[in-house]
């Protein structure tokens, strides 16, 4: 008998039929003798709908009020799932993030988890009930409701699995695992049976939205094995866990893409110690999450810096950078949201030269211009025009024979 955390994403609970199918699966898992803690997301596109409502009434959106609004979606799901479980004679109890003891900082709309208490969940388990926890939410040290950022139910699930010492955290979604590319763009993509935390981190960070990045960080830091699988076929999916050294490592495991970021270019910046520090400190102080950064070698004592930020943060990034421009000697600041990023991820890249060259040749063969490049030991990313993203992903998937 094991303790399992089972997380069901919005795509798994789009309507009440799906909610009943999920309840059936939870009941089945219990019949197999396991203890289950369930984490559930808002139904279908509920969170997007709630954001649309907010946009309809206001351009000013205080984070505290947005969080109060957005947490409502997950609350509906927990109650409905408990009702569906009651119908099957499975004792269950719904919990908001706050009731589950998920304590966060006060950064509304993207709060960080500080502590998970979980005693009420342990009590429910001891009473033989299935705790059903609202994903994506917590309560701040100031006792306000917070959310963990889009896709945050994954993080809730992993945090609970770590706290409760679960054997595994099962992430149920609408695809049967983590694929060699987004199956919506590359129909021939194949399911990866196993990934290391490092590879999954790079996949999540570079746009493979099947798992939220912070959930993978949490899983790696607390050694929680993840099992990403389908709530439609229930077949075994992709395991994400500690690297298995005996396994032959693929040179390239996946091609990912991300169109959620924009590019900021600062031209003619003084090439002196402390300039970059001031710019990126000012952005950090406004909680802008800067991703790729490229700086040119300087010519005549000045240089250009380009960086990417989430599209939602473009306006504030431009404001901060333009304000600072006179102090850092910048002659111009421009923003461009018509960009996207394609990346190759693979643990075997470390030891195989030539991957970069093949990537650049493939993009050039498609007539695609590369605007920014960044690498880690197991990832190469290129920023290209938005309309070049899909052809780039398809061409790379083929060039690296991932089908």
211: left (phi over 0), alpha (psi -120 to 50) or beta: beta
**Residue 73 interacts with which of ligand ASP, ligand ADP, Mg ion, none, CB < 5 to 8 Å by class:** ligand ASP
**Residue 182 interacts with which of ligand ASP, Mg ion, ligand ADP, none, CB < 5 to 8 Å by class:** ligand ADP
Question: How far apart, in whole angstroms, are the C-alpha atoms of residue 44 and residue 40?
Answer: 11
Residue from 136, 218, 239, 400 that binds ligand ASP (CB under 6 A)?
136
Nearer to ligand ASP, 9 or 237 (CB): 9
Contact 251, 199 (CB under 8 A): no
118 touches ligand ADP by CB under 6 A? no
DSSP bridge pairs for 376: 379
Site pattern 28..67 for ligand ADP (x: CB under 6 A): -------------x--------------------------
**Residue 78 interacts with which of ligand ADP, ligand ASP, Mg ion, none, CB < 5 to 8 Å by class:** none
From 144-152, 176-184, 246-254, 316-324, span contacting ligand ASP (CB under 6 A): 144-152
321 touches ligand ASP by CB under 6 A? no
Number of residues lying near Mg ion (CB under 5 A):
2
Among 186, 210, 206, CA closest to 341: 206
From 98-106, 144-152, 344-352, 378-386, span contacting Mg ion (CB under 5 A): 144-152
Q: Closest approach of Cβ 232 to ligand ADP, in Å?
A: 11
**Residue 47 interacts with which of ligand ADP, Mg ion, ligand ASP, none, CB < 5 to 8 Å by class:** ligand ASP
Residue from 184, 223, 272, 278 that binds ligand ADP (CB under 6 A)?
184
From 23-31, 149-157, 325-333, 386-394, span contacting ligand ASP (CB under 6 A): 149-157
Residue 224 per-residue DSSP state: -
178 touches ligand ADP by CB under 6 A? yes
From 39-47, 78-86, 182-190, 384-392, span contacting ligand ASP (CB under 6 A): 39-47
Kindly give the residue spans of alpha helices, DSSP state H, lying in 193-272: 197-205, 213-222
Task: Tell me which H or E stretch contains 157.
Answer: helix 153-164
**Residue 381 interacts with which of ligand ASP, Mg ion, ligand ADP, none, CB < 5 to 8 Å by class:** none
Helix, strand or coil, per DSSP, at residue 46: helix
Q: Closest approach of Cβ 327 to ligand ADP, in Å?
A: 40
DSSP bridge pairs for 339: 385
Contact 80, 87 (CB under 8 A): no
If one counts every other C-beta atom within 10 angstroms of the C-beta of residue 180, the result is 25
Close Cβ partners of 18 (under 8 Å, ≥ 6 residues apart): 12, 231
Residues 151-170 that bind Mg ion (CB under 5 A): 151
SS3 per residue for 102-144: EEECCCCCCCCEEEECCHHHHHHHHCCCEEEEECCEEEECCCC
**Residue 118 interacts with which of ligand ASP, ligand ADP, Mg ion, none, CB < 5 to 8 Å by class:** none
Q: Which residue has the tokens 């981190």?
A: 201
Q: How far is CA 292 from the centre of its chain?
A: 17
If one counts every other C-beta atom within 10 angstroms of the C-beta of residue 300, the result is 7
Binding residues for ligand ADP (CB under 6 A): 9-12, 41, 151, 173-175, 178-179, 181-184, 208-210, 254
């Amino acid at each position: 008998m094991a303790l399992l955390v089972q997380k069901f994403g919005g795509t798994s609970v789009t309507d009440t039929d799906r909610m009943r199918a999920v309840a059936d699966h939870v009941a089945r898992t219990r019949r197999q003798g396991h203890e289950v803690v369930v984490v559930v997301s808002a139904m279908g596109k509920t969170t997007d709908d709630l954001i649309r409502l907010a946009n309809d009434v206001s351009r000013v959106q205080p984070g505290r009020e947005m969080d109060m609004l957005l947490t409502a979606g997950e609350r509906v799901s927990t109650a409905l799932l408990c009702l569906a479980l009651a119908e099957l004679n499975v004792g269950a109890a719904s919990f908001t993030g706050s009731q589950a003891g998920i304590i966060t900082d006060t950064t509304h709309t993207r709060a960080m988890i500080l502590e998970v208490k979980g005693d009420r969940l342990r009590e429910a388990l001891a009473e033989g009930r299935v705790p059903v926890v609202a994903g994506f939410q917590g309560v701040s040290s100031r006792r306000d409701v917070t959310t963990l950022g889009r896709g945050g139910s994954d993080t809730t699930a992993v945090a609970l699995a770590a706290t409760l010492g679960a054997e595994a955290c099962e992430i149920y979604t609408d695809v049967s695992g983590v694929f060699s590319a987004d199956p919506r763009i590359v129909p021939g993509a194949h399911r990866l049976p196993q990934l290391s935390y490092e590879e999954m981190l790079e996949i999540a960070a570079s746009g493979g939205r099947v798992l939220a990045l912070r959930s993978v960080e949490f899983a790696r830091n607390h050694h929680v094995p993840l099992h990403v699988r389908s709530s439609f076929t229930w077949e075994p999916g992709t395991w994400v866990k500690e690297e298995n050294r005996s396994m032959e490592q693929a040179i390239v495991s996946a091609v990912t893409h991300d169109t959620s970021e924009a590019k900021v270019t600062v031209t003619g910046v003084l090439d002196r110690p402390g300039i970059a520090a001031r710019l990126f400190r000012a952005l950090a102080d406004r909680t802008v999450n800067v991703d790729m950064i490229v700086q040119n070698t300087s010519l005549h004592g000045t240089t250009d810096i380009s960086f990417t930020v989430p599209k939602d943060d473009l306006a504030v990034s431009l404001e901060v950078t333009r304000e600072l421009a006179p102090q850092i000697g910048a002659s111009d600041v421009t923003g461009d949201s018509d960009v996207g990023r394609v990346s190759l991820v693979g643990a075997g890249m470390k030891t195989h030269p030539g991957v970069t060259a093949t990537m650049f040749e493939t993009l050039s063969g498609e007539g695609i211009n590369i605007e920014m490049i960044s690498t880690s030991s197991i990832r190469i990313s290129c920023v290209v025009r938005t309309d070049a993203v899909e052809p780039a992903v398809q061409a790379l998937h083929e060039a690296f024979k991932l089908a």
